């Protein structure tokens, strides 16, 4: 391999990127835009669930009970209604996701120690939000019931009560349970995979369509020099994207980076090399910019979003799909990024993912080299 010829090819490709605002925009602006949009818009947190209330009791006791909901960050009491028709309209119009109905004898039953019931209606069209919100509501009702029982026994002159089971949960690595803390590291992996493959999927195909590939074939430039020359500028842009994404995660989204920064960038370099090589391989095979961009999108965007563990837990997927996820390289970098970011672990824990990610990068580079032929046929 001649370094001078390789550098000449890299310089040629870099000048093309600089002179083409679209390529430069795809390389830097789009990843940052995606990070901002998805970082703020893609959230699994269920807060301020809009709730309407039909308080048929209208007593101090019912107001005390409702204060448990209004004082929680998980619920937002939007309106007090007077009948089921209003509740139905609120839920159908999207004004509310949940409705709380307190019976008229609520206060009397609570004071007399008789069991009572409170109806909770949830909009099941969004099953995930409804399930989580009903779980929050059940906890609030349970805590309120315990406090009422303890207060009743205390007033009756009973001794202090000790509950038979005292659950004391403790969350590691993401204490506030913010979905942003595990979405941002995975999002970096997905953006790198998609943008890298899209950028390099046009490189060789562009040479074929513009007619300059014939000129390159007639030069002494070897196949590996041409591929490496086209690889290097985009690798530099990709690593710049990683740096900007890490800085945005630290200073914009306040995502803690507990692990080794050097390990994160090292694994990102391996993943980026494989992603760029995949794009070059697609470009070599298709020889068409339109077909290459479409194929790159299909091979990177959907698998990276759906099968990498970025949003949906792999363990919850059907068993056949779980086996298919081993073919998705983004799966390994998502695990690496989350482990480094949130848990602060190293290769002693993440060694298996690092090895498989390295094998992916090496295999794609080798396939791109073998597939490219300095021939017009």
In whole angstroms, give the CA distance from residue 377 to residue 374. Answer: 9
Q: In what order do the strands lie in the sheet with 49-55?
A: 75-80, 49-55, 98-102, 119-122
Give the per-residue pLDDT at 82.
Answer: 92
Q: What backbone torsions phi and psi does residue 121 show, to the nearest 5 degrees? A: -110, 130
Q: What backbone torsions phi and psi does residue 94 show, to the nearest 5 degrees? A: 85, 5
Q: Which residue in 51, 49, 39 sits closest to 132, CA to CA?
A: 49
In whole angstroms, give the CA distance from residue 360 to residue 333. Answer: 11
**Mean pLDDT taken over the chain:** 85
> 19-28, 215-224, 250-259: which has the highest mean pLDDT?
250-259
Q: Tell me: the pLDDT tens digits for 175-197?
A: 877 888 888 888 888 888 877 77
3-state secondary structure 182-246: HHHHHHHHHHHHHHHHHHHCCHHHHHHHHCCHHHHHHCCCCHHHHHHHHHHHHHHHHHHHHHHHH
* pTM of the predicted structure, to 2 decimals: 0.80
Q: What is the CATH number of domain 49-155?
A: 3.40.1710.10
Domain ranges of the chain: 3-43+178-371, 49-155
Q: Tell me: the pLDDT tens digits for 272-288?
A: 998 888 888 888 888 78
Give the per-residue pLDDT at 162.
Answer: 66
Q: What percent of the chain has pLDDT over 90?
A: 31
Whole-number Cα distances in Å, 66 to 51, 107, 113, 274: 11, 12, 19, 55
Residues in the chain: 377
Q: Tell me: the pLDDT tens digits for 80-129?
A: 999 999 999 999 998 999 999 999 999 998 888 888 889 999 999 888 88
Please check the confidence at residue 375 and state whether its pLDDT lies above 70. Answer: no
Give the per-residue pLDDT at 374.
Answer: 59
């Amino acid at each position: 391999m001649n370094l001078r010829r390789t550098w000449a090819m890299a310089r040629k490709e870099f000048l093309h990127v600089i002179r083409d605002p679209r390529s430069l925009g795809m390389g830097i602006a789009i990843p940052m835009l995606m990070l901002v949009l998805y970082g703020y818009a893609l959230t699994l947190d269920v807060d301020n669930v809009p709730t309407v209330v039909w308080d048929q009791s209208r007593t101090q006791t019912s107001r005390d009970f409702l204060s448990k909901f209004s004082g929680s960050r998980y619920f937002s009491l939007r309106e007090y209604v007077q009948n089921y028709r209003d509740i139905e309209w609120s839920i159908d119009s999207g004004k509310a996701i949940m409705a709380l109905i307190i019976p008229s004898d609520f206060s009397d039953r609570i004071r007399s120690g008789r069991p009572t019931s409170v109806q909770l209606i949830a909009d099941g069209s969004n099953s995930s939000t409804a399930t989580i919100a009903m779980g929050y509501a059940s906890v609030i009702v349970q805590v309120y019931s315990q406090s009422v029982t303890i207060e009743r026994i205390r007033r009756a002159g009973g001794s202090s009560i000790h509950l038979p089971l005292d659950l004391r949960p403790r969350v590691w690595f993401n204490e506030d349970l913010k979905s942003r803390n595990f979405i941002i590291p995975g999002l970096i992996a997905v953006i790198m995979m998609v943008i890298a493959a899209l950028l390099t999927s046009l490189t060789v195909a562009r040479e074929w369509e513009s007619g300059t590939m014939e000129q390159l074939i007639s030069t002494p430039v070897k196949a590996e020099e041409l591929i490496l020359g086209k690889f290097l500028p985009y690798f530099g842009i990709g690593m710049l994207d990683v740096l900007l994404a890490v800085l945005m995660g630290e200073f914009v989204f306040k995502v803690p980076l507990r692990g080794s920064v050097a390990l994160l960038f090292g694994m990102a370099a391996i993943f980026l090399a494989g992603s760029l090589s995949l794009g070059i391989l697609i470009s070599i095979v298709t020889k068409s910019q339109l077909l290459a961009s479409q194929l790159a999108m299909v091979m990177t965007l959907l698998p990276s979003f759906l099968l990498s563990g970025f949003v949906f837990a792999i363990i919850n997927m059907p068993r056949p799909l779980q086996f298919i996820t081993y073919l998705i390289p983004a799966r390994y970098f998502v695990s690496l990024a989350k482990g480094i970011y949130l848990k602060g672990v190293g290769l002693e824990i993440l060694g298996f993912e690092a090895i498989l990610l390295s094998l992916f990068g090496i295999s794609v580079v080798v396939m791109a080299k073998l597939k490219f032929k300095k021939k017009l046929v």
